């Protein structure tokens, strides 16, 4: 069997589906779900979110120049989807989804308490690409839930939180362990 050629499109999957929280005062607090996101530089730590200008959150993020990326889990899947189909112009998403806004350390945007990882971001540039505008941002603080930090090794076990991914319009929980970074070149331990 061969491969069919499709017209150009957005085909890089799986992706995360994160909840981005924004707003500088409680009356302005909002959440939108974002899949067009990722890391773009290690040092300084930089990431991006791409947002349609029509989104209610767009103006809030642009005006304040900051936001928080909140990683999502299986238990947050419902809220993740809901915040991605309802708009803050009609809904108070924190309250309606039972999510708790907590103060971040560097930005005025709230963090979502129920998320295992909150990433505080400052917008450095906005690239108007077309349908979406890319907020190129610097990560200025990261909050990790102690519940997932291994007491002995100190390693962060995000997998224990049940992170979800987004694949062609559907949400999935993370699958089983395959190997660790560099396993392909690791020398096999002798058994004899």
Ligand X SMILES: Cc1cc2nc3c(=O)[nH]c(=O)nc-3n(C[C@H](O)[C@H](O)[C@H](O)COP(=O)(O)O)c2cc1C
List interacting residues with ligand X (CB under 6 A): 17, 30, 32-36, 50-52, 55-57, 81, 84-88, 132, 166
Least distance in Å: CB of 36 to ligand X?
3
Nearer to ligand X, 33 or 118 (CB): 33
Q: Residue 89 carries which DSSP code?
A: T
Direct distance between the N- and C-terminal alpha carbons of the chain, in angstroms, rounded to an integer:
44
Least distance in Å: CB of 35 to ligand X?
4
DSSP 27-95: GG-EEEEE-SEEEEETTTTEEEEEE-TTSHHHHHHHHHTEEEEE--BGGGHHHHHHTTTS-TTT--HHH
Residue with token string 């190129």: 136
Least distance in Å: CB of 70 to ligand X?
13
Nearer to ligand X, 21 or 118 (CB): 21
Least distance in Å: CB of 2 to ligand X?
31
């Amino acid at each position: 069997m061969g491969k069919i050629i499709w017209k150009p499109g957005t085909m890089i999957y799986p992706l995360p589906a994160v909840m981005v929280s924004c707003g500088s005062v409680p009356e302005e607090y909002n959440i939108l779900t974002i899949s067009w996101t990722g890391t773009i530089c290690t040092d300084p730590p930089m990431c991006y979110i791409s947002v349609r200008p029509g989104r209610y959150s767009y103006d809030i993020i642009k005006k304040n120049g900051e936001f928080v990326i909140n990683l999502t889990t299986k238990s947050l899947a419902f809220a993740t989807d809901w915040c991605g189909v309802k708009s803050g112009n009609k809904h108070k998403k924190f309250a309606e989804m039972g999510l708790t806004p907590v103060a971040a350390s560097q930005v005025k945007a709230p963090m979502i308490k129920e998320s295992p990882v909150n990433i505080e971001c400052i917008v450095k540039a906005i690239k108007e690409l077309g349908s979406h505008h890319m907020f190129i941002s610097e990560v200025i603080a990261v909050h990790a839930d102690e519940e997932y930090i291994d007491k002995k090794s100190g390693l962060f076990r995000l997998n224990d939180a049940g992170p979800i991914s987004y694949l062609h319009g559907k949400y999935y929980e993370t699958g089983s362990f395959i190997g660790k970074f560099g396993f392909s070149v690791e020398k096999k331990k002798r058994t004899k």
